[in-house]
Amino acid sequence: MPRRRVAKKAEPVLGGGEGTCDEPAMHRSGFSVTLCAMKPKIILLCLAASLSVPACSSDGGRWANDVESPFQNEAQAFLDRYTATFQELYYESGEAEWQANTHIVEGDSKNSERVQAANEVLAAFTGSVENIEKARAFLGRASELTVLQKMQLDAVLYAAAGNPQTVPQMVKDKIAADAAQTEALYGYSYLLDGEEVSTNDIDERLRSDTDMAARLAVWEASKNIGPTLRDGLKDLQRLRNATVRALGYDDYFAYKVSDYGMSTEEMLTQLDKINRELRPLFRELHTWVRYELAERYGQDVPALIPAHWLPNRWGQDWGALVEVKGFDLDGALRESSPEWLIEQAERFYVSLGLEKMPTVFWDKSSLYPAPKNASWKKNNHASAWHMDLERDVRSLMSVVPNTEWYETTHHELGHIYYYLCYTNPDVPPLLREGANRAYHEAIGSLMGLAAMQPRFVEAVGLSTGEGSGADPMQLLLKEALNYVVFIPWSTGTMTYFEKELYADELPSEVWNERWWELAARFQGIAPPSERGEEWCDAATKTHINNDPAEYYDYALSFVLLFQLHDHIAREILGEDPRDTNYYGRKEVGEFLGGIMRPGASVDWQQMLIEKTGSDLTARPMVDYFQPLFEWLKEENRGRKYTLGAL
Ligand code: X8Z
Ligand code: ZN
């Protein structure tokens, strides 16, 4: 998740030439270099032996080849110097953050001291008045720059706005508040009946426990962390807004949205449209689930679904409500080791023609839960890290063998393969990002969806029962309870809460009230009982704390993934999108490689049109579930619908 961004609006400059990412990659993840800077080029050259130009060379890669005029040379010299220092500091920041997320020891302040020190140095550099002024001066003559230079300078300014040294104390305070919030979030001990439980335990119980009192206790245990995070979030609300305002953004939400080249209003309009397009189907799902769960739990049919009835802490994924007869993926996975899940995800990517992940991934990632009774804790949410913007790629997960982690391993490896693909001599380090943030989320989620379809599952040797003989409508229902149910949560509850938090400076006295109003309106769910302002339920969601104002990325990524999947199924594989098997299909790898290789050096909208023939559209997602929509209308005949209009 730690990722920073670059504003881009220029014309595509790289064809993204269809082709897999056979180029060596390198990595990084946030802000600093390192291998490059500290031990240098020799090491990189070894890592990337086939590169014609070492990608971390301060002389630039092929991206600098079209630099011609003296002015362009001057701009290039600035960018080269900036990049070299940036990568170095970014790497150190990444290492410090990595340590602070993978090895949290109560009462030990070393982690946060190192994070603060590294991030302060990085911020002092990226936000320096000198860098801001230079970038602005070059951009003042933008028409004389190469397209890639302009994009990189935009990236420099975007990074600066996150940490402007015109308000140094504010930036320092923000860095400290961020570090403290991470520690509070991941150092927290969840307690159930006085016993410490992991978030994996909580999630498993919410998926499988049928006793209502037990479900309530688990759900409440998952929310007890909220008050611990409330004051920190108040500080962050203020500091995040204040820092970006110093460089002219309206607020922190607008800053993050600007990464897409959009205003807040434009983004909300786009998201509302997506939500409205999926609303009729969600309304059917909501109705079906109200009746189904009321019967299952022997209760009256509720108008809003009580949150503790659902198999997810935030009601964002209801997939576990349905067990498809003859397709017991959880059962099949239970026989596997956690290692197998990650290796299998890699095998899938490799089967498409992508390279194996570098050994550093296996050596340095933190892939499994902390041992029970360990004296340390780790971040329990999955993420992927590009440590140095070169080849140091890592993932932080807590994999156990179940369906959720099976999907998540594919998701995280999607980030890793994106890093590896755009780390090539055509993409300058400052543009080693997704075409936009949603693309970065979409690739792995797409692979996750593909890896759950029965013919694929059978082909990779998982014995789920009848497999492809399972009832297609039940399979579709289970998928919709995941992908469709996610849309009102992501476009609605999360996005509107964060928009109001930052743009409208929502006072903390009404956070909980507003959170549940949004959950009712968008998701049709309600808390088990009154949740007053002594709670802080929004803060129980990881992203509110440490991936702020970006959650719509996932909504867009789901829409995008169905668009990509539809294209792959129909145009590349000649298969029904609901019944595919990507495994071993190199054409799919070529297609995805063509999207990933240019990174952020292309215009994301233009690339989408080039690759799929259409602008971003929810149509393929709606079409995918059309048979289910008809089926649900029949199932729900005579039932009362309670979901209000948007
Ligand atoms: O946070 C994630 C990924 C890491 S980028 C596991 N996801 C969102 C979430 O868990 O809320 C994936 C989809 C939604
Ligand atoms: Zn992700």
Chain segment 199-221, per-residue pLDDT in tens: 999 999 999 999 999 999 999 99
Ligand positioned closest to the Cα atom of 482? 1
Model pTM score: 0.92
DSSP-H helix ranges across 163-263: 168-186, 199-208, 212-223, 226-245, 252-257
Q: What is the mean pLDDT of the chain?
A: 91
Supply the pLDDT for residue 574. Answer: 98
CA 193 – CA 221 distance, rounded (Å): 9
Residue nearest atom 8 in ligand 1 by C-alpha distance = 554
SS3 269: helix
Give residue 144's pLDDT. 98
Element (H, E) at 28: strand 27-28
Copy the structure tokens of residue 423.
């780390």
Q: Which atom of ligand 1 is nearest to the CA of 316?
A: 11
User: Residue 519 Cα, ligand 1 centroid: separation in angstroms?
Assistant: 18
∠ at Cα 423 (422, 429), nearest 5°?
100
CA atoms of 345 and 444, how far apart (whole Å):
10
Tell the burial category of 554 from Cβ atoms under 10 Å away from its Cβ (0-12, 13-18, 19+). Answer: buried
Quick check: CB of 490 below 6 Å from ligand 1?
no
E strand spans, 108-204: 190-192, 195-197
- Residue 379: CB within 6 Å of ligand 1? no
Task: Please choose, from the candidates 325, 344, 322, the residue with its C-alpha nearest in 3D space to the C-alpha of residue 333.
Answer: 344
pLDDT attached to residue 30: 29
- Whether the CB of 485 sits within 6 Å of ligand 1: no
Residues 282-311: what's their mean pLDDT? 98
For residue 34, the model assigns a pLDDT of: 24
580 lines ligand 1 (CB under 6 A): no
Distance CA 232, CA 480 (A): 36
Q: Could you say which ligand is closest to the alpha carbon of residue 555?
A: 1
Report which ligand 1 atom has the smallest distance to the Cα of 381: 6
Half-sphere exposure of 418 toward its Cβ, with a 13 Å CA cutoff?
32
Give exposure, 593-616, as e/b (b: 16+ Cβ within 10 Å). bbbbbbbbbbbbbebbeebbeeeb
From 1, 367, 411, give the residue whose CB has the most ligand 1 atoms within 8 Å, as the site to mutate: 411
Closest CA to ligand 1's atom 7? 554
CA nearest to 230, candidates 546, 541, 536, 542: 536
332-352 pLDDT, tens digit per residue, is 999 899 999 999 999 999 999
User: Residue 227 has what pLDDT?
Assistant: 98
| Contact between residue 518 and residue 497 where contact means Cβ atoms under 8 Å apart | yes
Written as six digits, the tokens of 535 are 């709670």
**Which among 440, 426, 469 has a CA at the least distance from the CA of 148?**
426
* Greatest extent of the chain over all pairs of C-alpha atoms, in Å: 77
H or E stretch at 305: strand 305-306
- Find the 441 Cα to ligand 2 centroid distance in Å: 5
Token look-up 């291998």 returns 35
Q: Report whether 13 contacts 435 (CB < 8 A).
A: no
Structure tokens at 209: 């426990």
Q: How far apart are CA 615 and CA 630, in angstroms?
A: 27
Point out the ligand nearest to the CA of residue 541.
1
Q: How far is the CA of 514 from the centre of ligand 1 (A)?
A: 23
Cα dihedral 99, 196, 1, 503 sign: negative
Ligand 1 site-directed mutation target among 554, 558, 560, 561, most atoms within 8 Å of CB: 554
Contact 478 CB / ligand 1 (< 6 Å): no
Strands in 334-409 per DSSP E: 383-386, 388-390, 393-396
pLDDT band per the 50, 70, 90 thresholds, residue 45: very low
Residue found under tokens 């992940």: 357
Smallest Cα–Cα separation from 568: which of 111, 250, 494, 576?
576
Considering only CA atoms, which of 450, 469, 403 is closest in space to residue 566? 450
Q: What is the pLDDT of residues 388-436, one digit of tens each?
A: 999 999 999 999 999 999 999 999 999 999 999 999 999 999 999 999 9
Q: Whose CA is closest to atom 2 on ligand 1?
A: 382
Q: Which residues contact 227 (CB under 8 A, 6 or more apart)?
A: 534, 535, 536
Considering only CA atoms, which residue is closest to atom 6 of ligand 1?
382
The answer to whether 149 touches 189, Cβ cutoff 8 Å, is no
Q: Is the CB of 383 under 6 A from ligand 1?
A: yes
Instruction: Tell me, using a 6 A CB cutoff, whether residue 554 lines ligand 1.
Output: yes
DSSP 551-597: THHHHHHHHHHHHHHHHIIIIII-S-TTS---TT-HHHHHHHHHHHT
- Is-contact 427 24, C-beta < 8 A? no
Using one digit for the tens of pLDDT, what is the confidence trace for 374-390?
Answer: 999 999 999 999 999 99
Cβ within 8 Å of residue 52, ≥6 positions away: 62, 425
Q: How close is the Cα of 357 to the center of ligand 1, in Å?
A: 21
Amino acid identity, residue 418?
Y
Rg (CA), the chain: 24
Q: How far is the CA of 411 from the centre of ligand 1 (A)?
A: 8
Question: Average pLDDT for residues 618-628, to the nearest whole number?
Answer: 98
The CA distance from 234 to 174, in Å, is 11
| AA letter at 489 | W
Pairing of strands 305-306, 525-526: parallel
User: Rounded to an integer, what distance in angstroms lies between the CA atom of residue 147 and that of residue 143?
Assistant: 9
Q: How far apart are the first and last CA of the chain?
A: 30
**Rounded Cα distance, 252 and 264, in Å:** 10
Alpha-helical (H) ranges within 35-146 are 35-38, 41-47, 70-102, 110-126, 129-139
d(CA 104, CA 366): 13
The span from the CA of 159 to the CA of 412, in Å, is 24
Residue 550 has pLDDT above 50, yes or no: yes
Q: Which tens digits make up the pLDDT trace of 418-427? A: 999 999 999 9
Q: Which ligand ends up closest to the CA of 419?
A: 2
Residue pair 6/155 in contact (Cβ under 8 Å)? The answer is yes
pLDDT in tens, 112-146: 999 999 999 999 999 999 999 999 999 999 999 99
CA 91/CA 94 separation, integer angstroms: 5
Ligand 1 atom nearest the C-alpha of 547 is 1
Compute, in angstroms, the gap from residue 11 CA to the centroid of ligand 1: 30
Question: Is a pLDDT exceeding 70 seen at residue 16?
Answer: no
The pLDDT assigned to 645 comes to 85
Closest residue to atom 13 of ligand 1, CA basis? 554
Ramachandran region of residue 374, left (φ > 0), alpha (ψ -120 to 50) or beta? beta
Tokens, residue 326? 């003859």
Report pLDDT for 59: 58
**Amino acid residing at 184:** A
| CA-closest residue to ligand 1 atom 3 | 382
Q: Is residue 505 classed exposed, middle or buried when 0-12, 13-18 and 19+ CB atoms within 10 A define those classes?
A: exposed
